[in-house]
Each structure stands twice: as C-alpha cells, then as structure tokens.
Structure 1
C-alpha cells in the first residue's frame, strides 16, 4: 500500500501512515497535473495541500486510489464530483488550523492600524519616524467579517475581546457569537466596517467576489484583509485603492497565482506598497496547526481505507462503524436505489454468513453500508456483491 504526500505535509502524517503499514513518499513541493498523472498509478492514498489540483483527468490515471486527503481546510482543488463518481473518498481538516488563521488576522489588524509595516521598513533604512500620524487603536473600531464559518466566528469572538464592534455577512444563516451583528447584505457591511476581513470558501461562485465595486463601497481609510482564497479578490483594484489613499492598508495571505515550491520566485501587483503586509499563504502554517492537521487527516485516511469509516468525508455518505475487534467486515459503496441493502443481506444469508452488526447511510445518488460478520465472509457472497450493477466497490476488513 503506497501513500503519496505532497507540499511538505507534517512528518506526523508520515509516521501515522507508516505505522499502519503504508509505504510513504513525501514531496516538498506541489505537482502539476502532468506530474501528478505520472505518479498516481499504484498510489492508494494521496495527500495534498492547497496548491496541487486533482482533476478528473488525474483521477482517471489513479487506478489504485482509494482516498484523497486535503491537509488544509479547503477542498476546491479536488474535482469532488469526479472523485465521488469513482468512489474515491475525500477528507480535509475543517477545524485544525482555525486558531492559527485567526491569530494571524488579529495580529494584522493591529499592525495595519498602527502602520507597523511602514515603521519597521523605515527603521531598517535608518529613519527614526516617531509619529502618531495615521496610527490608531483597534478598540471601538468596527470589524466586518465576510464569511461567518469556523474561522469567521472565532475571529468574531477574539475581536470582541479586544473591544472591537463586530458585524458580519454570510450567504447562509449563521448564529451570532457574542454581540456580533449580522448584516443584510455585503454592501451594508462595507458601508460600516473600519476593517473588512474575508473568510469565504473556494467554491467557483466566489471567484471575483471582491473587486472594484466592493472596494469603492468601503469606508475611506479603512483596512482590508484577505486570508481566504486568492481568486476571490481583484488585486489590481486593491492596488488602485491603496495608491489613491481610499484604502489605508491591507494584509494579503493568498494570491490568484502562487509559487509551487519553497524558494520559488513570487510576484504580485501588490508588492512595493506602503502599509501592505504580504505573507506566503501561511495563515494555517504554525507548527501546532500543521502537526494537528497531519495527525487528523492521516488518521481519517487510514481509518477509511483500513476500517471502512467515512466519518467527516466531504463527498461520501458518512458511516462511522466502531473498530472491528473480531470477525470480518465488508463495506459496499453503491448507487442509492431501492432494494440494494436487501439484496446484500439476501446474498449473505444464502451463504450462511452470520451478520453481527450493520451500519449504513445515503447521500444523494450514493449509499454506503458496512456489515460485520462473526466469521470470514464467503467468497461467493463477496463476488455476488461486486457483480451487482449498483455496486461501485466492495472492500473487506479483518480484525
């Protein structure tokens, strides 16, 4: 069993997978589609971060692939529909680096409000600029959070602890944390916020979400932060508004085009601007977060492939069977049509297989059933399940 991990995933993931019997290859950088296609044959588990794209064409080459682990929050870099059609499980880490991103944003809010990027540059240049001009406290300022999910809500809580007023906008109904106030529209938020921070996901509909029209509606001398996705923001429009003085400062951690590997050359239209913080997509890159992500996602991959658990899969019906202590187990991913489970149980009964437990769930066009038996299942039963027109795959597990 082979696992391929890209983009310098934390060594704890390597250790976890090796402990479960996988031959692990760890790459420091991301892979192009051509490189990925070349490497995927023979790979059982694939681990990526945000800069490796897993397309339908790549999945066609992945004849042995059981699961993809996104060692990050987002999964938009994976063609989920294609993975689902092929029965390939996709897992991510929706919570593990939340705190790291939030702490970075809090630090950036304070740094921008105090104009620290300019101060430190001038000090390095030998200029003693001891002035309060343009420097402000964040207390009593209004933070506008666009996207009120796991990161947005935790940012909301910490910002209030600093004495900020928090408003937010989300396309979904979200429960307010603390005294945060929901806004009816993005435009309403932009009209009131002294700081705008983006925390939306990478779905295609969010491409170009924030451009000239949105920057124009922001308050004069307000601050802008993007720690979500690079494709969400028109960086050229942001530069124009910073150069005009309308936007007082910005912190950007994500970019439409990012280097593939450590040390590669980086270029952005936002380089060379005063009071602009540029960071290399490190929102979740703390030692604590990366270790937790490495542990969390590698464990999900291993338990899916070795025990049949689809807990927290982003694309398969979720079934969480307990660890198999004795006997045998079979997992069947199938088309969600009436009678499949009855057909399965009838097949087992005909061979005299003694079912001890069964766990099942459906989601959209797919169904997934895990069946435990006291003894090894008959080969005839397994073949009959595999031959069903509704079956995508059958996998067996032993205690």
Structure 2
C-alpha cells in the first residue's frame, strides 16, 4: 500500500488555519521481502519493477512452465503471474500451499481453474481491456491484407516470383464489416473501420449502445449473410465453442467473403474453415488463435497441417495483444491489482471472487487491524464473526459473496497486540473458514 500525503491546493486554505489529511497506515503484518512472486511467460518489465518496488521477491521465466517443474515452482509462492500458455489446473493449485492470488497478464482466464482457485481462497485478476486497441488495429491490418492478398504476394516475392495482379483484390472502403461481439475490442474496431469508409454491423447477446454509425442486428445468421468481412471478438464459453462451423460459413456467409478470428481458438471449427477456403467459398481468412497452441516459441506448430498451404490465409501466433503499449498497460494494471490485494485486501477486479474494498486505515487510528476473512457462503457466518468482534469496535465492515465464496473485510479498533492472536485464531477456527488474514 503506497504511503501518500494529500494536501489541498494553496487557494483552498483558510486564513489562520491549515488543512492536511493524515497519511494512510501501511497495512503489512509481514516483511515484504518474504512475499514471493513468480512471473512466467515474459510478463512485462513494468510488473517486475512494480513488485520489486514493493520489496517483494520476484522470480521470472521467459516461458510457460508445465508438469513437475510448474508444481515445484508454485509450491511456496504467494503470487503467480502468467499469460495464456501456463495451465493452472486443480491438480497444480492443490500443490500451491501459500498461493494468495493469480495474475493473468492477458484478457482471458480460461487457463485457470477459477472454481478450484476460489475454493482455496485464491483470487484471480486479469486485464480485460488493456490490449483492446492493439487487437483492433491488428484487425484493420488484416482487413486490408486479405482484401489485397498481401500475404500471398509477399510469399511469392520471397520465392522470387513476380505476380502483379488486380483480379480478386479490393479496397475495404464501401464494404460491410460484421463484428461478432461488440465489447471493448469490437466497439473500438467499429470506429476505426468507419473512419476507413466501411459500413459496420454487429451482433452481441447483450443490448449494447452502438458507437458512431454501427448498427446492431438480431441474429448471428443475419450478420453473416450481410457482411463482406466477419470478425470474431467473443470469449470462450460453452455457447461460443464451435460457434462458426460449416453451417455458418457455407450456408450464411457470402461467397467471396472473409473471416477473421482473433477471439479464441475454439470458436471456429478448423475443418470447416479449411474446406471453405479450399472450395473458394471464402476468399480469405486470418487466424490468430487455435484450438491447441504451443507452450513456447519454436518449431512446434504441427497440429494443423491442413492450414499451412491454403491461399490468402494469414496465420499469426496469438499476437493480437502483443504490442509494447498493450503489455506495459497490462503489466501496470494487473500488478497494481495484485499489490492492493496483498497489502490491503482489496479484491476489486477479481474474476472469481466477491469484489470489495474499504478506504485505507489512517495512521492516527491506533490499535486498528484489518480482518480479511474468506469463507464458504453459508448461513450464520456473519453472526459468528460479529460475535468474535464484539469485544472490539468495528470501525468499518463490508461483505459480499459470489457463488459459493464470500468475503468479509472489517477494520477493528482497540485490538492490542496480546489480543491479536486470539482474534485471529478464533476466526480461523470457524467452520466456514477458507482463509483469513489480519493486516495491522
């Protein structure tokens, strides 16, 4: 928790008096050098520096870890930071005895067993919006590259082949772009596409206010049938797995249209895409995500040989958010959330956890502790906890639940050092307890 001092601007002072606000108290019942953080998959340096500034121990790896190596490394760490390749299954989390939180330095969290993590009192944070612009710009580049067959011309030139053609090459101006999923990426993309002269339609299961001149449609099938380009920006859920298959491509998408998938590898059925490109029903496609992806860089992409020789198919190795700007923003956002959770118990932004926070305790509030109680969401817990608090004054308290997990944050005053251990042990002994921390 950063120590800050707030003072007013000079003009806000009144004559004969001064106004200052006391510094917040640093809530750390631990030596910060004892906090161990493991960062995998080249998590951006901004996060590394932020954690080191707090005094935490930080260990970094450029690649994902798997199997016994991952289990050995995760055993005694308090925080682990990953991107999309490291798989944190229940079996792995069972070995993580000290783990308090997981930072997914990316958009998705499907690489983590969120339910298993919550049941162990492990909160999971991600960065759902920081790379939105980077993905949107990649799509714009892919639209132009597909319309002009730039991938094929580039490959031919590298082979020494001069093939200057205009047949089958188009401007994107005046074309219809259909966006499936109108969230942060889809809405930013619609603005960029309109600026380039495209007409934008979108389909989303939620009612979302259009930006600019974009127009919603009532069904996926309607969107596919009117679009020259279809681009996907949906999360991986049971409803989106296999969303685009033979029926959607061959029966609804226009002959000569283009498909772009920068969402999740499971959203498009690869055999259907291959057949549509081979038959010429699709004029081209761009794929940045795959049902199965290698855990590290190198000559490992061997699971989809049918894709490799197709014409006007742009294939990229899941680089939608791989820009310096996006990774810096992600590093800052996730490291800040994790630091606040370690130091203050703030769970705002957690994806598998109740989101709660309280203002910082002032340094003037002597003998005040912050109790952070993660427990199973069953009746009677708050009554039991408040009975334990009864001998002290509850300055502030906030509780919330999410599914089977509940979280209480309470600032308790008049807690002497000799009573601190008694208070902690009493809470830990309650039947619903999953994990309890006391900050002071």
Common topology (TM > 0.5) = yes
Superposed displacement of residue 93, structure 1: 0.2
Distance in structure 1 (CA, Å) of the matches to 2:232 and 2:68: 33
Residue aligning to 2:18 = none
1:218-297 equivalence runs, <5 A: 218-267=253-302, 268=304, 269-297=306-334
| Structure 1 position 313 matched with structure 2 position 350 | yes
Matched residue, 1:397: 439
Q: Take 1:323 and 1:119, find their aligned partners in 2: how far apart are those partners?
A: 59
* Superposition map of 1:24-43 within 5 A: 24-43=58-77
Contact 2:201 2:215 in 1 (8 A): yes
SS of residue paired to 1:303: helix
Q: Quick one: distance in 2 between partners of 1:358 and 1:122?
A: 67
1:76 to 102, 110, 113: 110
Matches of 2:414 and 2:426, distance apart in 1: 18
Give the corresponding residue for 1:185.
Answer: 219
Q: State the match for 2:168 in structure 1.
A: 134
Q: Is the 8 A contact 2:357 2:409 kept in 1?
A: no
The yes-or-no answer on 1:372 pairing with 2:372 is no
Change (3 A) 1:86 1:228: same
TM-score, structure 1 as length reference: 0.94
Aligned to 2:400: 361
User: SS of the counterpart of 1:241?
Assistant: helix
Q: Who is 1:197 aligned against?
A: 231
Q: Decide which structure has the larger Cα Rg and report it.
A: 2
**2:194 pairs with 1:152:** no
Equivalents in 1 of 2:39, 2:275: separation in Å?
40
Q: Does 1:212 align with 2:249?
A: no
Task: Report SS of the residue matched to 2:133.
Answer: helix
- Report how many aligned residue pairs link the two structures: 396
- Within 2, Cα distance between the matches of 1:173 and 1:31? 40
Secondary structure of residue in 2 paired with 1:206: coil
Matched, 1:112 2:146: yes
Q: Quick one: which of 352, 372, 385 aligns to 1:344?
A: 385
Query: How many angstroms does 1:113 deviate by?
Result: 0.9
Q: Tell me how far 1:375 sits from its aligned partner.
A: 4.8
Q: What SS does the corresponding residue of 1:290 show, helix, strand or coil?
A: helix
- Give yes or no for contact 2:389–2:412 (8 Å, CA) kept in 1: no
Cα distance in 2 for residues equivalent to 1:62 and 1:128: 57
> Shift of residue 365 of structure 1?
2.8
RMSD in angstroms over aligned alpha carbons? 1.7
**1:283-317 CA distance string (max 9 Å, x none):** 00000101111111111112112210000100111
Query: SS in structure 1 opposite 2:427?
Result: helix
Please say which of residues 355-364 and 283-292 is displaced more in the overlay. Answer: 355-364
Structure 2 Cα separation of the partners of residues 178 and 167 of structure 1: 11
For 2:436 and 2:273, the matched residues in 1 are separated by 52
Q: Whole-Å Cα distance in 2 between the matches of residues 371 and 397 of structure 1?
A: 10
Q: Which moved more, 1:265-274 or 1:186-195?
A: 265-274
- Identify if the C-alpha distance between structure 1 residues 33 and 175 changes in structure 2 by more than 3 Å, giving closer, same or farther: farther
User: Cα distance, 1:373 vs. partner?
Assistant: 3.1
Distance in 2 separating the partners of 1:184 and 1:370: 43
Deviation at 1:362, TM superposition (A): 2.4
The residue number in structure 2 matching 1:382 is 424
**Counterpart-to-counterpart distance in 1, 2:382 and 2:117:** 23
Gaps of 5+ in 1: none
- Rounded Cα–Cα distance in structure 1 between residues aligned with 2:343 and 2:84: 26
